[in-house]
Amino acid sequence: MAALRLISEHACFGGVQRFFEHASQEIGLPMRFSLYVPPQAADSRVPAAVYLAGLTCNEETFAMKAGAQRVAAELGLALIAPDTSPRGAGVPGETDSWDFGTGASFYLDATEAHWAAHYRMESYLAKELIRVVALEQPIDASRVGIFGHSMGGHGALTLALRHPALFKSVSALAPICAASQCPWGQRAFAGYLGPDTRRWEEHDASALMSQRSTPLCADTILIDQGLADQFLATQLHPHLFEQACAKAKQALTLRRHAGYDHGYYFVSTFVAEHLAHHAKILG
């Protein structure tokens, strides 16, 4: 397995913010990610929370905009943030739109021709990234949670539902909660997965939760949503995930906040509580 190539590192709240690139076996291309290592890692391996960013973002977005490192340092929590898609896959049209293709992977494994060779973000996250990080960095791979924003919130919820043994805690900020029922998700799913809508439901957080006869986890799922979010009515549909959790008897803390929009001012306001949520569960 190819070693991590350190791009840069920066002392930060007693720990270190690092940026890496490596040759991904699952993607078949170089992939980049950011890693914040808290000061507690000098003495022992620490738990980690994987953060999935939204449309058009990359591995730098969360590290630079969310202001999460100070709290992560206090909690002894590492933060792993991958890029939002492969880069340079050479798929025709992959850079034509901001909501499909580059920067818009929807964190799934594509099955349609052209996309299937490299757009394998689910396998990258579930099978490769955490293992690669833990080999060279002081991360405890048995204590990993997942959270994200917007498209990344969709990814966090669906990957937690699809890989419950891997991700021990889950939360989301303004997530796409029912991707098969919104324009962003419908376009992505048609392109990556083809026209069979039954396959779309396999990557729809609300559909996955509604199919469960038992809760996903004993701990609550935390979601924050701004009520001034310009995408709330058309793209996000948190009420559908709320209904699905009630059906599965899954504990859900869904907090709605007046005045907050979809951007990183919103994310940075509530990120500390999400980190505390993961730290409490991961121990």
Q: Tell me the two tokens of residue 133.
A: 């990080």
Q: Which candidate in 85, 150, 180, 206 is catalytic?
A: 150
Residue 22 annotated to the active site: no
Helix (H) or strand (E) segment spanning residue 133: helix 130-136
Taking the CB of residue 136, how many other CB atoms lie within 10 A of it?
Answer: 14
Amino acid at 136: E
Strand blocks (E) in 201-246: 221-226
Instruction: Return d(Cα 156, Cα 144) in angstroms, integer.
Output: 12
Q: In the numeric block, which tokens belong to residue 121?
A: 């973000």
CA distance 100 to 179: 13
Residues in CB range of 175: below 8 A, 6 or more apart: 148, 149, 150, 152, 153, 154, 156, 157, 205, 223, 236, 238, 241
Please give the Cα distance from 163 to 270 (Å, whole number). 25
Question: In terms of Cα–Cα distance, which of 45, 43, 18, 46 is closest to 278?
Answer: 46
Count Cα neighbours of 156 within 13 Å in the Cβ-side half-sphere.
33
The values of phi and psi at residue 239, to 5°, are -65, -30
22, 210, 229, 278: the catalytic one is 229
Q: How many residues are recorded in the chain?
A: 283
229 catalytic? Reply is yes
Taking the CA atoms of 228, 234, 239 and 245 in sequence, report the sign of the dihedral they define.
negative
Q: Of the listed 203, 262, 274, 277, which one is catalytic?
A: 262
In the annotation, is 210 catalytic? no
The catalytic residue positions are 150, 229, 262
